[in-house]
Structure 1
Amino acid sequence: MGPIPFDNSYTRLPGAFYTRQEPTQVHRPGAIRVNHALARQLGIDPDWLDSAEGIATIAGNHVPEGAEPLAAVYAGHQFGSYNPQLGDGRALLLGEVLDRNGQRFDIQLKGSGPTPYSRGGDGRSPLGPVLREYIVSEAMAALGVPTTRALAAVSTGEPVIRDRALPGAVLARVASSHIRIGTFQYFSAVGDHASLRLLVEHSLARHYPEFAGAESPALALLQCVVDAQAALVPRWQALGFIHGVMNTDNMLVCGETIDYGPCAFIDDFHADKVFSSIDRGGRYAYRNQPGIAQWNLACLAHALLPVIDADQDRAVELAQAAVDTYPDKFLAAQSRCMADKLGLDRLEGDDKALVDALFANLDTHGTDFTLAFRRLYELAGGEPAVGELFEFPAAFAPWLAQWRARLAADSLTPEQRLAVMRRANPVFIPRNHLVEAAIRAAEDRGDLQPFHALVERTARPFDFDPDDRPYATPPRPEQVVERTFCGT
């Protein structure tokens, strides 16, 4: 047995699903950070990951025993336009492991060199996107959001050319799987229904085994993915998180958040906020994320039609019915999130109007999203943390009076209320200006200390320490990050 206990399943699928590919070696790999806790969960010795051989493995210079590296093929709608073949253009699935609970995870190397799907790209990643994904994906995990994880990051010792020469890096990303809506779109578009059925069976067995014996496996899988996304996107909305590239190739059927390229958390709230430099029309703005998720699910439904039912009219009817369950499921999950953030047992009666009025106030005044909700927790009796940093404008007074009256009528005890609100309202998030500062320090000066400090601080998003107040402070005008960028 090698240092990583591989147990691969995707390589047992036919060759149409992937291209076997060795990573491209780099000149001088170096350690950046190893996620020791995640390594232990996966049954990997973190000390080995810290070793020269471990660093070489993540960099792509060493393929350990049991690894079967491959680049997966998929398609996808990118900003609404269909691309019939995408695939892993700068990533390789190194292999899979079973964690201590028997759950299967992919280990993927991102930035490991060109593949047949690179479409003329170099297959590499600059240091900045690797640091951004490490910071934000681990923060999302700490916030309780289903997400891919960062196992390790290494430098390559080689420059990557974008608008300028940048230091290169590789990220070891962990996911429950990398099977995307776009994976199904690819096989549907090329008319390979046998592979489409096989992919459905593989996905059900891996992620939703309780439905593997369903009368229509494809319909069962569609409903499972609808349910997973209806639960995921409200978590984004409740944190002010903007994904930035909600293409169908960036939506996993397992329901985890993936691809942290141009993502960002909102500081001053506006519902039409956009950060991604390539989202010129605002397709993936904050307010649009719930609807785009349903649009993507409709794309999955369309891809699955050939294997849902032999009668295509019947297949359309069944698929439409599944996708049509999304709005109610989303609203129910959103209602639960907002009830927790406001300290209510559940939303009822006029509570939707209360929530809508709060968001209208936040939008009108450009209020800091994270601090506003954390301040509500303090006003409900929680331990002080952000009061020195934030207070509601006077215009919020009528709304705050209505909220306090609603709390008085709610069934939660004060202790229950504070426990719920504390878990729902972080004080620390990876604020854009802090992420950007960490990247600049690393790229420009080779200083990784701000990166490490931000990772460690956002790993405890709900626990306030006065010494860490700068991590909770909104950006000054000159620090505001208006645009974020993809690593390609």
Structure 2
Amino acid sequence: MTVHFPFQNTYAALPANFFARVAPTPVSAPRLIKLNRPLAIHLGLDPDLLETAEGAEILAGKALPAGADPIAMAYAGHQFGQFVPQLGDGRAILLGEVIDRDGVRRDIQLKGSGPTPFSRRGDGRAALGPVLREYIVSEAMAALGIPTTRSLAAAITGENVIRETVLPGAVLTRVAASHIRVGTFQYFAARGDVEGVRQLADHVIARHYPDLALTERPYHALLKGVIGRQAELVARWLLVGFIHGVMNTDNTSISGETIDYGPCAFMDDYDPATVFSSIDELGRYAYGNQPRIALWNLTRLAECLLPLFSEDKEKAIEEAQAILGEFAGKFTAAYQAGLRRKIGLFTARDGDEALVQDLLDAMAKNQADFTLTFRRLSEAAGDPASDHSVRELFTDASAYDEWAARWLERLAAEPQSPEERRNAMRSVNPAFIPRNHRVEAVIAAATTKDDYAPFEELLKVLSRPYEDQPEFAAYADPPLPDQRVMQTFCGT
């Protein structure tokens, strides 16, 4: 048998100025390092065939499967606030689309598969480290229940890439609801191509928001829909301590998925000003800035859609501003509801927001680990006598004691049993996240020793983030001082 992808190619059927047709650049010695077998099955693919030599050649870009129509998508974007009118897929090629077992259309894209017309003097390749990072973090996000692109496979190419040093080359096979970004709309808007914006909007509505097609004002509804998904997404990021790192408009997905995991990271100690990305020198995309930046990015989308709202520009702006004004309420509702769940509250009452904020403030002042604090609070909710494990996370334990007294009083006002509350909290407060020092150790083992056992073990742990897993308890620990990772890096 031969590897079969039941491809459809709806994006490739759009006008030619939406993309460039380009095939992956063949590599010399492809080797599959990891196949996401459950995801392959969900996509209607045969994992056994994908793990053959033929499958490895396809997943590394050496061979094209039947039915593929490979393209590099065109888009623009604001990068750290500066507009670049043409970016596009400089090292990624969309092979085609498949319909998964839930009836959802999914892109299958090779990342690191060679230069395209959008490469801007880049080599179009990816190094092994960033491929492993994206595989680990995207799959961890999926296990945490956060909308995200997925990783189907990672393969090494048998060739080196040159960055600051010589590194082994690799290709990631990425799966997404689509790869359409705010920057895709900006590409056409910057050229004054209103018809291109309209065609793209119609495609997005048909693919991601089909219920909006028959509404009275579908383009207004589209903006509202994207705002709702992004508000919910960023709230979910904050609730697990995730920092995107490069929240540019070209990394803001119209479908509402987390996309492009470059210099992303999870916080250890709680601090809203936390930045890891080596290229975010001014902290534009710091943890606490992410809601503001999301709205900024969505405002750029609204600007693109203005000609579709009304021929009267002032009226169009007024209508867009009214829709953008809904972001704050949607984000706050999602974020505050999530925080209440994290501290074990089943109902909303006056004072709850201040109660949670006081905890966060105490955590920030006392260098408390974000993930462990909430996880251990789950145990303290079940048995207040066990709160010593939370107290020890605070440099000044009395700060926790003062807050905990108010918290326990608030919990007593609800009828749930301690066990019910504990279980509810454990279901939203993970024990395991992809801590930076663990990810870096995995990358070091793979790149220097060709050893993927640590990679496999970390993936195994992160696939069940809400379970205790006593045999892997050390993976929940924050880094020791000499293990701290202070910067993460973009893969280009």
Please, what TM-score do these two structures have when normalized by structure 1? Answer: 0.98
Q: Is the 8 A contact 1:374 1:386 kept in 2?
A: no
The aligned residue for residue 70 of structure 2 is: 69
Aligned to 1:350: 351
Are 1:463 and 2:454 an aligned pair? no
Give the alignment of 1:4-403 within 5 angstroms.
Answer: 4-381=5-382, 391-393=392-394, 394=397, 395-403=399-407
Asked if the contact 2:3/2:54 (under 8 Å) is kept, the reply is no
Q: For 2:297 and 2:75, how far apart are their aligned partners in 1?
A: 15
Describe the superposition over 1:276-318 as per-residue Cα deviations: whole angstroms up to 9, x where unpaired.
Answer: 0000000000110010000000000011111121211111111
1:483 to 480, 483, 487: 487
User: 1:86, 1:313 → 2: CA distance?
Assistant: 30
In the TM superposition, what is the alpha-carbon distance from 1:271 to its structure 2 partner? Answer: 1.0
Q: CA deviation at 1:216?
A: 2.5
Query: Contact conserved, 1:200 with 1:217, CA < 8 A, in 2?
Result: no
Structure 1 residue 411 displacement after superposition: 4.2
DSSP 3-state at the match of 1:167: strand
Task: Report if the CA contact (8 A) 1:92-1:108 is conserved.
Answer: yes
Partner of 2:433: 429
Using the TM superposition, give the Cα deviation of residue 466 of structure 1 relative to its aligned residue in structure 2, in angstroms: 1.9
CA 1:156 to 1:2, structure 2 compared with 1: closer, same or farther past 3 Å? closer
| 2:477 counterpart residue number | 473
C-alpha separation between the residues in 1 aligned to 2:218 and 2:311?
13
2:450 aligned with 1:449: no
1: CA distance, partners of 2:457 / 2:383: 26
Deviation at 1:390, TM superposition (A): 7.5
Q: How much does 1:385 deviate?
A: 11
Per the TM alignment, residue 422 of structure 1 is displaced from its structure 2 partner at its CA by: 1.2
Render the CA deviation track for 1:126-171: whole Å, top value 9, x for unaligned. 0000000000000000000000000000000100100000000000
Displacement, 1:413? 4.0
What secondary structure, in the 3-state scheme, does the structure 2 residue paired with 1:92 have? Answer: strand
Corresponding residue for residue 410 of structure 1: 414
Q: Is residue 377–residue 390 contact of structure 2 (8 Å, CA) maintained in 1?
A: no
Q: Contact 2:433/2:462 (CA < 8 Å) preserved in 1?
A: yes
Give the CA deviation at 1:392: 4.0
In 1: Cα distance, 2:270 partner to 2:192 partner: 45
Task: Tell me how far apart the structure 2 counterparts of residues 480 and 452 of structure 1 sit (CA, whole Å).
Answer: 22
Q: Pick closer, same or farther for the CA change 1:292–1:143 going to 2, 3 Å.
A: same
Q: 1:116 to 1:280 in 2, by over 3 A?
A: same
Contact 2:3 2:46 in 1 (8 A): no
Q: 2: distance between equivalents of 1:409 and 1:213?
A: 46
- 3-state DSSP of counterpart to 2:382: coil
1-structure distance, mates of 2:345, 2:417: 10
Give the partner amino acid of 2:469: D
Amino acid at match of 2:434: P
Q: After the TM superposition, which of the residue ranges 421-430 and 341-350 deviates more from structure 2?
A: 341-350
Which one-letter code corresponds to 2:232 in the other structure?
Answer: A
1:169-219 residue CA offsets vs partner (Å, 9 max, x unmatched): 000000000000000011111011111111101001101100012232221
Q: Which stretch of the first structure deviates more once superposed, 121-130 or 340-349? A: 340-349
Post-superposition CA distance 1:41-94 (Å, at most 9, x none): 000001111111111001111101111110000000000000000000000011
Counterparts of 1:356 and 1:19 in 2: how far apart (Å)?
49
Amino acid at match of 1:35: N
User: What do the CA deviations read for 1:18-56 (whole angstroms, capped 9, x no partner)?
Assistant: 001100000100011000000000000011111111110
Cα deviation for residue 386 of structure 1 reads: 11
8 Å contact from structure 1 (residues 74, 185) kept in 2: yes
Given that residues 276 and 488 in structure 2 are in contact (C-alpha distance below 8 angstroms), is that contact kept between their aligned partners in structure 1? yes
d(CA) in 2 for partners of 1:99, 1:146: 16
Q: Could you tell me how far apart the structure 2 residues matched to 1:390 and 1:134 are? A: 35
The 3-state SS of whatever aligns with 1:333 is helix
Inter-CA distance 94–401: structure 2 relative to 1 (3 Å threshold): same
- Summarize the Cα distance change of 1:358–1:199 in structure 2 as closer, same or farther, 3 Å threshold: same
Give, in whole Å, the separation in 2 of the partners of 1:194 and 1:365. 54
**Secondary structure class of the residue paired with 2:271:** coil
Matched residue SS, 2:161:
strand
Distance 2:371 2:206 in 1: 38
Quick one: which amino acid aligns to residue 175 of structure 2? V
Question: How far 1:415 sits from its partner (Å)?
Answer: 4.3
Aligned residues: 488
- Residues 1:62 and 1:385: Cα distance change in structure 2 (over 3 Å): farther
Structure 1 residue identity aligned to 2:34: R
**Matched residue of 1:93: which SS?**
strand
SS at match of 2:184: helix
Q: Write the distance in 2 (CA, Å) between the matches of 1:108 and 1:466.
A: 37
- Partners of 1:289 and 1:448 lie apart in 2 by 33
Query: Matches of 2:270 and 2:194 in 1, distance apart?
Result: 45
Closer, same or farther in 2 for the Cα pair 1:383/1:171, shift >3 Å?
farther
- 1:77 counterpart SS class: strand
Q: Report the CA distance between 1:2 and its aligned residue.
A: 5.9
How big is each residue's C-alpha offset from its partner over 1:365-401, in whole Å with a ceiling of 9 and x where there is no partner? 1111100000100101179999779834312101011
- What is the root-mean-square deviation of aligned Cα atoms in Å? 1.6
Q: Could you tell me how far apart the structure 1 residues matched to 2:48 and 2:13 are?
A: 31
